[in-house]
Structure formats: structure tokens, C-alpha cells
Amino acid sequence: MKKTLEGKWALVTGSSRGIGRQIAIGLAELQCNVIVHGRELEHTHETLEIVQQKGVDALAVGAALDSEAGVAKLIAAVEGKEIDILYNNAAINCSSTPVFEFDQATWQKIFQVNVFAVTQLCNAFGPGMKSRNWGRIVNVSSGICDQPNLAPYSVSKAAIDKLTRDLAFEFKDTAVRVNAIDPGWIRTDLGGPDAWESVDTVLPGMLAPVLVADKGANGEYFQAQQFRFFE
């Protein structure tokens, strides 16, 4: 029997294209209602249309995550919705630079989108999951290593891994599960044209942390490419 998420609401950040779009589509195919997010509202229209064709409720929100105010705009836009699944997918990379030449502005920009926005969203929606005793928080990580020329990005993802484990412990006695997942090196705007995998290969694996049992994996690190035949 195919698992279903009927009646649940998921917020997928950065779902106007790329990996986020695939996640939104995969959730909709499991009958999950989806909030599509992009930096600009007009960028979300194509994903929104695809998701709606799956027969679920959906809405789109435009909000930049590069400031506290931008994240607050996203949170305010979904006020009144009980967010059951928070999929923190949105992230930005940096230009390849000798490791000692990154300025503080670059570090701050990367951490704002990749880490601080995630903590702000978890603060907004985590308590509701805990009070309802059900939820899934999925943080997109990365397998990047040994690339000091991309240090701000790789360090931000290391921070996400640690945040995931700390949040998981907070929810350990509940039916809220918090896990991280590495989608693999994917040919997207962020991954670049030389990446190993096409974007469609992230499914069905990116759904695995959402479909864990209520007392299942928590604070774990998934790899989407290991679930190519996941059902």
C-alpha cells in the first residue's frame, strides 16, 4: 500500500525550481498539500501549476531569505496554516575563492540564507509540531568535502548537520522527527553543469526523511541517491 500524506501541509523552501521543485512534486504525489516558495512570487508559478495538477491544495509565497525581515514575510504569509512538514531546501553557494580571501560579507550572506533562515523557520513552526505531537523537519545538507575554495557553503552545511541533531534531541520524546539529507551532486544552478546526477534522481530519496515512522529515524543523515528504488 502506497504511503499517503493526505491532509498534511508542507512548506518547501526554494521550491520554484531544481531540487525543491522535485520535492514539492513528490510530496504532492503522496497527496500532501504544498506551499511552494521562491524568492520572487512569479518564479513559483510553474511549480505551483504542476503541484495543483496532482489534485492537492497548494499556494505560493514569494519571499527572499537573505534577511530576518524576508524570512518573517514568509512566516506571515502562511499564518493560519498548520505546517506539518518543514522542508528546509533553500540554499545559496559562493564563488570559488582561495579560502583566506573570503570576506565577512560573504560568510554572513551564506549563513543568513543557509543557516539563520532555517533556525528562524524552525522557531516559527517547530513549537506547533511539538504541541500537536506530529511533524517532520527535513534539512537539506551536502556531502561537500575537501573544497576550502567553497568554505562558507560547506561550513554552513556542517552547521545544519549539528542543528539537525540538536533539534532531534529536543523532539526525542515526541512524534516529530528531524533529519538531514544529502541530495547528491545534482545538475542545478547551485550544483553546476558538471555535477554527476540529473535533478530527477533526487526522487524518491528526498521523501525518505518525511516518511520515517513516528518513532523512527531522528537526528540522522540520509543520502537521497541510496533510495533510487525506495517505495
What residue ranges do the domains of the chain occupy? 9-227
| Dihedral over Cα of 57, 61, 66, 71: its sign | negative
pLDDT in tens, 161-173: 999 999 999 999 9
3 pLDDT band, cuts 50/70/90, is confident
Quick check: 180 and 220 in contact, CB under 8 A?
A: yes
Dist CA 203 CA 172 (whole Å): 27
Dist CA 140 CA 217 (whole Å): 16
Report domain 9-227's class.
alpha beta
Of the chain, the end-to-end C-alpha distance in Å amounts to 9
Dist CA 30 CA 230 (whole Å): 14
Instruction: Scan for cell 502562511, then name that residue.
Output: 78
pLDDT at 230: 47
pLDDT in tens, 108-150: 999 999 999 999 999 999 999 999 999 999 999 999 999 999 9
pLDDT at 192: 65
pLDDT at 1: 34
pLDDT in tens, 9-60: 999 999 999 999 999 999 999 999 999 999 999 999 999 999 999 999 999 9
pLDDT in tens, 73-110: 999 999 999 999 999 999 999 999 999 999 999 999 99
Side chain identity, residue 105? A
CA angle, residues 69, 169, 32, in degrees to nearest 5: 60
196 pLDDT band, cuts 50/70/90, is low
SS3 content of the chain, % helix, strand, coil (to 5): 45, 15, 40
pLDDT at 189: 67
> Is the pLDDT score of 228 beyond 70?
no
Mind telling me the catalytic residues?
153
Helix (H, G, I), strand (E, B) or coil at 44: helix
Dist CA 179 CA 161 (whole Å): 9
